[in-house]
Structure 1
Amino acid sequence: MRQASRALFAFSVAFSVALAGVGCTSQRGGSSGGASTGSSSGTLTGTPITLGFVTVENSALGSYPETRRAAQAAVDRANSALDGVGGHPLRLVTCATDGSPESSQNCANQLVAKKPLAVVGGIDFGTQAAMPIYESAHIPYVTGSPQLSGELNSKNAFALSGGTVSELLGITEYLTATKHIRSAHALYVDLPGLLSAAIQGSQNILHKKGVTDVKLIAEKADAADFAPAVTQAAAGNPDAIIVVFQAAACARIAQAAAALNVRSDMYFVGTCASPAVPRAAGGRTDNLYFASSYLPVPASGGDADMAAFRSAVPDADRTSASQGAFSTVLNLRALLAKLPAPSAATLTTALKATVNEPNVMAHPYTCDGKQIEIFPAVCDTSVRLLHWQDNAFSDVTGGWVDGRQLITLIN
């Protein structure tokens, strides 16, 4: 599916308030498996097993160094507490892109040259251009934070969470099946042609479901002032305002909404599930909600992996994206540890054979290519709805929300 079609699909879903019969489950997150052994990377004697890692850093489009740091924290946990991979230490080789297709291709070539068993994706906006390189090298690309790019429809890619697509589906499912809203305004990043495409893709569905108040507001990611756009989105006090931006812009949007005393509930996608966003609202967070493919990180408690993440990753870095990087590395370690002869080929086969595989801090995943058939890379479509409370994200739904069946309403 081309980039424009994917964008149309995702935003059509976000703005389509339609009844659906998909319920919530109470299934909790998975674990990296195995008791702590006390082994450290210094005592592991096997040949190192290499994983590649790529993410955007220091770019005008966004910067996600916390994903790289979280991935390294997961490697450290694997080597110090989980015996690496059967006595072989994990090694992470990293590359930062600037968000352009060319830089993603350059990183792909650099990483492939290191002969990793897999490349882990943090957040990379140029994966569409890089994916053919991974495919030619027969190296699986595995991510916990997929974007609207080639990683969603490549048969060589495995998205252990559904990312923005699943989060938008989950928000829509929750708002329609649980909240029963009748009005929704959406504030989203302005991309060429996206507004008209979204209207055309969602208008018929909205009318069929009796939604009479739908408004789409586009704004530039680097807008000097978000107050005018937020004012438009809040006009008429809609039941919900859906916000689709990156974290830096979301923080400014939350700040503007607080200053304008916006009363409508606001629902942000997972890229905005960062402490910086609700904190920007200066205490006015009662109406801010966030979709995330990962369980909230409490101040204490949780399983050993959750505790390790909390210990290794500073509060400000505990985002949905950094959870995705940490989770993906540990999930790969768990699969590799089951293989008698770990390689890129055997790992790819193992990924394709997964069924309800434990998923660290997330819902179990199944990489059969059928979770969302038009996006075969997606292995899990379940999300949590979170709320900011007592200086931390807390669970709203008490179970996983899965809105994938909404796709049938778009056809």
Structure 2
Amino acid sequence: MKIGFITAEGGSAISLPEVREGAQAATAYANDHLGGIGGRPIQLVVCKSQEDAASARTCANQLVEQKVTAVNIGTTAFADSMVPVITGARIPYTTGVAASGAEFVTDGAFSWTGGFPATLGVMAQTAKDKGYKSVSLFVTDAPAVTAGANALGKPVFAKAGVGLDIVPIPVGTPDATSQVTAAIGKKPGAVILVGEGTFCTTVLKGLVAVDATQPRFVIQPCLSKTVEDAAPGALDGATLFTPGDTESDNAESRLYRTVMGRYAPKTALDGYAVTGYQNLLGLVRALKDLTGDVTPASVTSTLKAAKDVVLPAGDGLTFTCDGTAIPNL
């Protein structure tokens, strides 16, 4: 069974090989211990996007041409360039961390979690609970991220009674001190970082440079050894918002560490490796009831019937793919 996997890797500004390594480890585990999908071994067809609109579309078209049965996405800010191509070919598009509008509203697109909007919602509630009047949200300056932050972030923070200052940082920015200075000058109660590791390092260094003391809300890729080494102490006391549990004694977390240790022993367990693992193994679990001919159509119908699937490395979280998880979408 051919599963396409699109991942951000090899770009001049963004490269996340650990996402692919996590997905490949999950594939090997599923083939060795779960019988693949529908009793058929999984052939993972990887396409490395440069994390821009053109290469994202190229990857989508390549996988359609290779007649994959489904496409699984690592993490991307350019899903709007891929979803129409993949679902237009009647191939299911799957991810664990949806961020763009197309991923949420397109028939044939599936996400195991509430993705970016859900993360923003939890952050807004946390800011409210802590009594913050406003926060600064640093995001990668990419269409899906900035559009999502404005369309989804501002309403949920406003509902929580918390002001939201969105600060886009262009991809590849080596020094964000000027943007950080302007944001901190507005005296936010906390700062939020949403981006990959290099982005996190750049913003954290800027926060250190201006002696910012605000609490930090971060997502999984910020909490890697690479980031910590590049910005020592900048993450002390930070609050992590993630659907991935990589360190606890929960059975799912232990399985993650075991699988990665067996199939990707050189890959760091922190950062974004869990995203590739979670996305791919989530697909395998969602298709456990797949029988008969394995086609894009049968995969889509099986996914739509998936209910209460245990999210890999999710600390007990489950997902259902009936399209009702997020009202009004």
Q: TM-score of the superposition, structure 1-length normalised?
A: 0.68
- In the TM superposition, residue 310 of structure 1 has moved relative to its aligned partner by 4.8
Which of residues 287, 293, 298 in structure 1 aligns to 2:243? 293
1:100 equivalent in alignment to 2:23: no
| CA–CA separation in structure 2 for the residues paired with 1:199 and 1:90 | 38
Say if 2:103 and 2:109, in contact at 8 Å, map to a contact too.
yes
- In the TM superposition, residue 304 of structure 1 has moved relative to its aligned partner by 2.5
1:179 equivalent in alignment to 2:130: yes
| CA–CA separation in structure 1 for the residues paired with 2:3 and 2:42 | 7
| CA–CA separation in structure 2 for the residues paired with 1:216 and 1:343 | 42
Superposed counterparts of 1:32-47, under 5 Å: none
Aligned residue for 1:242, secondary structure, equals strand
| CA–CA separation in structure 2 for the residues paired with 1:357 and 1:280 | 37
Structure 2 partner of 1:226: 176
1:75 equivalent in alignment to 2:27: yes
1:116 equivalent in alignment to 2:68: yes
Which of residues 56, 76, 81 in structure 1 aligns to 2:8? 56
| CA–CA separation in structure 2 for the residues paired with 1:315 and 1:254 | 26
Identify, as 1 or 2, the structure richer in helix. Answer: 2
- Could you tell me which amino acid in structure 2 is paired with residue 172 of structure 1? A
1:365 equivalent in alignment to 2:319: yes
Larger Cα-atom Rg: 1
- What CA RMSD, in Å, does the superposition of the two structures yield over aligned residues? 3.4
- In the TM superposition, residue 273 of structure 1 has moved relative to its aligned partner by 4.1
Structure 2 partner of 1:281: 231
Aligned residue for 1:107, secondary structure, equals helix
Superposed counterparts of 1:2-401, under 5 Å: 49-85=1-37, 87-148=39-100, 150-176=102-128, 178-190=129-141, 215-235=165-185, 238-298=188-248, 302-313=253-264, 317-318=268-269, 321-341=272-292, 342-362=294-314, 363-375=317-329
| CA–CA separation in structure 2 for the residues paired with 1:329 and 1:218 | 30
- In the TM superposition, residue 360 of structure 1 has moved relative to its aligned partner by 0.7
- In the TM superposition, residue 222 of structure 1 has moved relative to its aligned partner by 3.3
Matched residue pairs, number? 324
Q: C-alpha deviations, 1:339-366, integer Å up to 9, x for none?
A: 2213322221121122221111122011
Q: C-alpha deviations, 1:37-60, integer Å up to 9, x for none?
A: xxxxxxxxxxxx221111222224
Say if 1:119 and 1:141, in contact at 8 Å, map to a contact too.
yes
Say if 1:294 and 1:323, in contact at 8 Å, map to a contact too.
yes
Change (3 A) 1:282 1:146: same
Change (3 A) 1:141 1:256: same
- In the TM superposition, residue 306 of structure 1 has moved relative to its aligned partner by 4.2
Change (3 A) 1:317 1:144: farther
Q: Which runs of 5+ in 2 are unaligned?
A: none
| CA–CA separation in structure 2 for the residues paired with 1:195 and 1:87 | 41
- In the TM superposition, residue 292 of structure 1 has moved relative to its aligned partner by 1.2
Change (3 A) 1:88 1:287: same
| CA–CA separation in structure 2 for the residues paired with 1:72 and 1:204 | 38
- Could you tell me which amino acid in structure 2 is paired with residue 338 of structure 1? D
Structure scoring higher RCO (CA < 8 A, sep ≥ 6) equals 1
Say if 2:217 and 2:239, in contact at 8 Å, map to a contact too.
yes
Q: TM-score of the superposition, structure 2-length normalised?
A: 0.83
| CA–CA separation in structure 1 for the residues paired with 2:98 and 2:237 | 27
Aligned residue for 2:239, secondary structure, equals strand
| CA–CA separation in structure 2 for the residues paired with 1:200 and 1:233 | 20
Aligned residue for 1:231, secondary structure, equals helix
| CA–CA separation in structure 2 for the residues paired with 1:203 and 1:66 | 31
Say if 1:273 and 1:291, in contact at 8 Å, map to a contact too.
no
Q: Which runs of 5+ in 1 are unaligned?
A: 1-48, 376-411
Say if 1:263 and 1:287, in contact at 8 Å, map to a contact too.
no
Say if 2:120 and 2:156, in contact at 8 Å, map to a contact too.
no
My pick for the range that moved more, 293-302 or 259-268, is 293-302
